[in-house]
Amino acid sequence: MTTERLATKPVEAAPKTRRRRFSLGVGAHFFGIGAFYILLIVFFSITSDNFFTYSNSLNILSNITVLGIVALGQTLAIVSGGFDLSVSGTVPLGAVAFVLISNAGFPTPVAILLVLLIGAGIGLANGLIVTRIGISPLIATLGMLSITAGLAYTLSSGVTVPMKNFDAAILADQTVGGISWYVIVFLLLCIVIALAMRFTVFGRMLYAIGGNRDASRLAGIRVDTISTVIYMLCAALATFAGVVVSSQLFAGSATVGADAALTSIAAVILGGAALFGGVGGVGGTLLGVLVLGTIANGMALMMVPAFYQQIATGAILLIAVGLGRFRAMIAAN
C-alpha cells in the first residue's frame, strides 16, 4: 500500500545528496571546537613537558570518564528538548548506594544492576513529573536534585562510607592494556549512544521531539513516553557514573559529583548542542568533555590552582557559545 504512491509529478532527477556531516546540525561549530581543542593541546604541550605523553593521555581519559558518562545522559536530555539538573544528586546517590549494597554482601554485578534500577526509578519520577504533571524540567529536576542529594547524605550519615570488599571496585581495578575497565565501558557507551542517536527510530524521534514537540506529537510520535525513557536513561547513566566514582575512591561519599549538573550541561553546550533541543550529538559532547578535562589536566600540570580552572571553564563556555551566536548572526545576514 505504500508502493502504490500518489505520483503527482514525473520523477525528475532527485536532488543531489551530499555526504552527511559528522553530527547532525553541529557542523561548523564542531570544527570550531575541534580546532580550539588542537590549539589547546599544542599550547599545553609547549608549556608542560609531561603533557603530551601516553600516560598523561590515559590520565585525561580516566579523569573525564565520570563527567563523560553523565554528559552522555545529559546529551540525550538536552537534544530531546529537556535537561536534567538532578544528576548532581543522582551521581552521589549512586556512589553511596553502590558501596552500601556491596557492603551488605551483594555480588558486584548485582550491586551495579540494583544501582542502575534506582537511577531508572529516579528518571521515571522525573519523566512523569515533567510529562504528566507538566512541571518544567528546570523545576522538576531541581526538586529531584534536592531529594536525591539529601538521600545520599542520609544514607551515608554525612560521612564517607568505605568499601569493605575491595573486589567491588573491579571497574577501576581491572585494566586492559593499561586502560581501566570503566574507560572502556565509557567508550563503549559513547559508541552505542552515538549509533542509537543516528541510526535508530528512537534517535530520530529524539531529535524530532527536541526540534518541535508539538509537531512531533501531531505527527503521531509518543512524545511523553520517549521523554520519560530519556529521563530514565539519563538518571541511570548518572548513577552508573556514581558507581565509577566509588570504584575509583574505594568509598562512597555524598559530596562527589555535586557539580555534575552544571559541568555536564556545559560540556554538552560546548559540544554544539542547542539548549532548546533538536541539535547536538555524542561527538560534540565528547569533544566538550575532552576540552574541559584537558584544561583541568593541563592547568594542573602547570601548577595552576584548581580555582582558576573553574574560571577558565566558565570563560571558555561563554566564549564558545558567544562565537556560535556571532556566527549565526553573520549567517543570517
* 329 near other proteins (CB under 8 A): no
CA distances from 278 to 25, 221, 248, 268, 294 (A): 9, 15, 35, 13, 27
Q: How many CA atoms lie within 13 A of 18 on its CB side?
A: 4
* Residue of the chain from 30, 153, 186, 207 that contacts other proteins (CB under 8 A): 207
Alpha carbon distance 283, 241 (integer Å): 19
* x/- letters, 275..304, toward other proteins (CB under 8 A): ---xx-------------------------
Our measurement of the distance from residue 311's CA atom to the centroid of its chain's CA atoms, rounded to an integer in Å, reads 21
In the complex, least distance from residue 164 CB atom to other proteins, rounded to whole angstroms: 42
Dihedral (Cα; 245, 247, 249, 254), 10-degree rounding: 50
3-class secondary structure, 180: strand
In the complex, least distance from residue 26 CB atom to other proteins, rounded to whole angstroms: 11
* Residue of the chain from 104, 133, 176, 201 that contacts other proteins (CB under 8 A): 201
* Residue of the chain from 24, 95, 120, 254 that contacts other proteins (CB under 8 A): 24
Contact of 254 with 97, CB cutoff 8 Å: no
* x/- letters, 214..243, toward other proteins (CB under 8 A): xxxxxxxxx---------------------
| Closest of 158, 171, 327 to residue 248, by C-alpha | 171
* Residue of the chain from 23, 25, 80, 161 that contacts other proteins (CB under 8 A): 25
In the complex, least distance from residue 11 CB atom to other proteins, rounded to whole angstroms: 5
In the complex, least distance from residue 324 CB atom to other proteins, rounded to whole angstroms: 14
In the complex, least distance from residue 218 CB atom to other proteins, rounded to whole angstroms: 5
Nearer to other proteins, 64 or 209 (CB): 209
With CB under 8 A as the contact rule, which of the stretches 3-11, 42-50, 236-244, 296-304 interacts with other proteins? Answer: 3-11
Q: Which residues contact 91 (CB under 8 A, 6 or more apart)?
A: 66, 70, 238, 239, 241, 242, 245, 256, 257, 258, 260
Containing 175, the helix (H) or strand (E) segment is strand 175-176
In the complex, least distance from residue 249 CB atom to other proteins, rounded to whole angstroms: 38
Q: In the numeric block, which cell numbers belong to residue 224?
A: 511523553
**What amino acid is encoded at 253 in this protein?**
S
3-class secondary structure, 254: coil
Nearer to other proteins, 151 or 221 (CB): 221
In the complex, least distance from residue 224 CB atom to other proteins, rounded to whole angstroms: 10
Residues that bind other proteins (CB under 8 A): 1-2, 4-9, 11-18, 20-21, 24-25, 199-205, 207-208, 211-212, 214-222, 274, 278-279
